[in-house]
């Protein structure tokens, strides 16, 4: 098969609709601030079972250019990132080099 760079937002949407979900969208605000800078390479270290995969799914859902922006906005509208000034400008921006 193949590896998909833009996996969509199905996994993140499932996590958000779960009974227990903790908003960690503040990391997206930080990622938006380091895009196109020399600090763009980051490493997220967390202990086992602390949501690394869910955070990665959230980042994929936010930046994925194949996801409808209205649907993406609906998922993120109650989260911390929706209040940030960089929310609209970087949403569905895709991968930048």
Taking the C-alpha atoms of residue 17 and residue 45, their distance in angstroms, rounded to an integer, is: 25
Query: What's the mean pLDDT in 20-39?
Result: 90
> What pLDDT digit, counting tens, does each position of 33-81 carry?
998 899 888 888 888 888 888 888 999 888 887 777 777 788 898 999 9
The DSSP H or E segment spanning 56 is helix 52-63
Per the listing, tokens 């996590």 go with 15
Residue 68 in tokens: 């409808």
Query: What's the mean pLDDT in 13-42?
Result: 90
Query: What's the mean pLDDT in 9-34?
Result: 90
The answer for residues whose C-beta is within 8 angstroms of residue 97's C-beta and 6 or more apart is none
């Amino acid at each position: 098969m193949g590896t998909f760079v833009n996996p969509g937002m199905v996994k993140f949407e499932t996590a958000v609709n779960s009974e227990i979900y903790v908003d960690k969208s503040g990391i997206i605000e930080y990622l938006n601030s380091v895009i196109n800078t020399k600090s763009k390479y980051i490493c997220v270290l967390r202990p086992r079972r602390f949501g690394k995969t869910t955070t990665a799914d959230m980042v994929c859902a936010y930046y994925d250019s194949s996801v409808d922006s209205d649907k993406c906005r609906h998922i993120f509208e109650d989260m911390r990132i929706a209040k940030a000034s960089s929310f609209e400008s970087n949403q569905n921006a895709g991968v930048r080099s």
